[in-house]
Amino acid sequence: MKSQKRNIERNRGQVVILAVILFSLGSFIFVSGVMSQVLSDTKATNNSIRSKQSYYLAESGIEDVIYRIVTNKSTSASETLSLGGSTTTIDTIDVGGGRKEITAEGDVTNLIRRITTELITSTTGASFFYGAQVGEGGLEMDNSSRIEGAGDTVGNVYSNGPIVGATGATITGDAVVATGLEEDEQARSTVYNQPQIVGQTNPNIDYAQSFSPIKTGPLAKISMYIEKVGSPGSRQVKIVADNAGSPDTSTISEGTLINSLVGTDPAWIDVIFSNPPILTGGTTYWIVLDAIKNSSKYWIWWSDSNNGFGNGVAKYSQDWDDDPWTLIIGDLTFKTYTGEGVSSIAGVTVDGDARANSITNSSVCGDAYYQTIDATSLDFVNSPTNPTCSDPLTPGTAFPGSTDSPPLNMPLSSAIITDWKSEALAGGTIVGDCGDAGDPSCVIDDDETLSIGPKKIDGNLVLSKRQTLNLTGVVHVTGNFDINGNNTIIKCDASFGSSGCILVIDGWIHIQNNATFSGSGDPDSYIMILTTLQGCTGSGGSGCTHHDGAMDLHNNAGGAIFYATDSMINLHNGVNVTSAVAYKLRLDNTAVITYESGTNSASFSSGPSGGWSIDKWEEVE
């Protein structure tokens, strides 16, 4: 009995020992499994961290190279950047068309991430649809001067001021003279001391300003003191009636706030109404900027925080024709212009159609649109006999009582020109003259070439030898530009491709003795010679050329677009240029503008050394 009891106890002990062993073994297996998973997770986590480090390393490498390119610092086709024992390799390839492809490979403990981006030179498109586009100063054409087209292209003219010609003055395309303008001094607010952010966040999307015109008449255009952030798309500006102290939901007329005319600094930007609304004097109307919401692309419309404009109020809404309006403390900055002047064409042969309020002593080969016309001009429209007409035997059609054409925006705004000057300044400043003398880095001897840009020249640019000026970016000259040397060449660098380059002059421009202008070599590339000089309109004034203009051209200058924002361009006898845009334009005897069709889509780049924008950014591995 005792022996049996001892056997039972012995068996129980063995079972306990076996249970302990099995428990320990199970615990070991469980712990081993957990540890394995922990180690695996830890490894995965470390790999994820290193992979992210590779990505950020590659991203840093791309950003470093982009910074060097944009700021015109030196960079190689292949760069290596080291950080904490790891590396990223950045390769840059010119792929043509003003584009660079940049690829960066980050490598942290053999965990590779690869990013690629493309940079494209930022360009400003400018539509030069006319052989000559003229502001309120108008167009004067002396004997046998011509505005024509190259090849199958015709030479059209659009002028916001009168066209006056002498014997033999000929326009081979259409001639349009817009209605004259008069600023309404009652319906304007010109103080700007507070920005109003338009379209960035709800509910501040659409903005409106009320006004009352001083008298009844057509509203031809308004001007807004405005800038942009990013690149918002062009937007409609509406004229609407008043509805109980807020904008009505119906549109009377609308124009376009053109994106490309607005810069990143505030400036007066015109909005033209192609169908000018007839407004009643003393009645309240509203200007409505119909924006869209975008946190990175929006407008800044400046205002007067002191409510200095006593003839209206400003409001904002999330949706102008659906949501309520909220009052703003202040008045938005704006101007209004009525079409009050009499536009005219006098003493010119027009091979195409002619449009003006008044047509006198002119030979219109095509159709004539007018309010008044003299008997001689009307007889010619009905039975043309002038051999200069392309079809001298087919009469045109007279359209009496036609509505005056609206004024046309100039291709470039002051904001865009300010941006170009900023790009030039970013490339550094040369203090003193350039060309014949001045800073040693800027002197060009006979038969030598100077490549320059972007650069600001704080002085004059004088070329009187056989010199070549090769623009590699925007060049801004604060003084005058004088060319009087034979066989001088001013051109865009070949790297511009189909884009054009820009030379901005603050003073007068005087060109003679067979200077040659050209683009990059691409047929779509043109050089723009632009002066910002004001007040030189042919009737005196200090600081002007000897013909009282801002620009005097004595010799042929094909391949260039000449632009005088606020003054006169004078073309001397026998001069032939590609295109001219000016406040006022005067053609001497036998001077010719030969318009080339490629200028209607011309774009101008800041150059291979600056003004880049990112066109693509993606991870490829």
What pLDDT score does 45 carry?
60
pLDDT band at 525 (very low <50, low <70, confident <90, very high): confident
What pLDDT score does 341 carry?
67
The 10s digit of each residue's pLDDT in 579-605 is: 889 999 999 999 998 887 655 555 565
Whose tokens are 């003054």? That residue is: 567
Residue 220 corresponds to which tokens in the numbers above? Answer: 């031809």
How crowded is residue 33: how many other Cβ atoms within 10 Å of its Cβ? 10
Instruction: Please indicate whether residue 392 or residue 30 has the higher confidence score (pLDDT).
Output: 392
What pLDDT score does 60 carry?
62
Lowest-confidence pick of 74-83, 135-144, 470-479, 503-512: 74-83
Residue 612 scores a pLDDT above 60: no
Residue 71 scores a pLDDT above 50: no
What pLDDT score does 105 carry?
84
Residue 2 scores a pLDDT above 70: no
CA distance 58 to 91: 11
The 10s digit of each residue's pLDDT in 6-15 is: 555 556 666 6
CA distance 602 to 559: 12
What pLDDT score does 611 carry?
46
The 10s digit of each residue's pLDDT in 204-259 is: 999 999 999 999 989 989 999 999 999 898 999 999 999 999 999 999 999 999 88
Residue 41 scores a pLDDT above 70: no
What pLDDT score does 608 carry?
39
The 10s digit of each residue's pLDDT in 249-267 is: 999 999 999 888 898 999 9
Residue 202 scores a pLDDT above 70: yes
Query: What average pLDDT score do residues 521-543 get?
Result: 88
CATH number, domain 2-122+611-619: 3.30.1300
What pLDDT score does 551 carry?
94
pLDDT band at 342 (very low <50, low <70, confident <90, very high): confident
Where residue 559 falls (left for φ over 0; alpha for ψ -120 to 50; beta otherwise) is: left
Query: What average pLDDT score do residues 35-63 get?
Result: 65
Query: What average pLDDT score do residues 57-82 get?
Result: 67
Highest mean pLDDT among 40-49, 80-89, 325-334, 564-573: 325-334
Query: What average pLDDT score do residues 476-499 get?
Result: 91
Please give the share of the chain, as a percent, with pLDDT higher than 90. Answer: 52
CA distance 439 to 441: 5
CA distance 599 to 581: 12
Query: What average pLDDT score do residues 27-34 get?
Result: 61
Residues composing the chain: 621
What pLDDT score does 97 carry?
44
Q: pTM for the complete prediction?
A: 0.71
* 8 Å CB contact between 105 and 58: yes
619 forms bridges with which residues in the sheet?
115
pLDDT band at 26 (very low <50, low <70, confident <90, very high): low
What pLDDT score does 607 carry?
45
Highest mean pLDDT among 178-187, 287-296, 401-410, 588-597: 287-296
Cα-only R_g, the chain: 35
Given this structure, which CATH class describes domain 182-339? mainly beta
What pLDDT score does 313 carry?
96
Q: Which helix (H) or strand (E) holds 381?
A: helix 375-382
pLDDT band at 397 (very low <50, low <70, confident <90, very high): very high
The 10s digit of each residue's pLDDT in 94-127 is: 654 445 778 888 777 777 888 887 765 554 555 5
Instruction: Please indicate whether residue 362 or residue 152 has the higher confidence score (pLDDT).
Output: 362
The residue extents of the domains of the chain are 2-122+611-619, 125-160+409-601, 182-339, 344-400
- DSSP line for 131-177: SEEEEEEEEEE-TT-EEEESTT----EEESS-EEE-TT-EESS-EEE
Residue 424 scores a pLDDT above 60: yes
Instruction: Please indicate whether residue 523 or residue 266 has the higher confidence score (pLDDT).
Output: 266
Residue 620 scores a pLDDT above 70: no
Among the listed residues 521, 499, 517, 498, the one whose alpha carbon sits nearest the alpha carbon of residue 509: 517
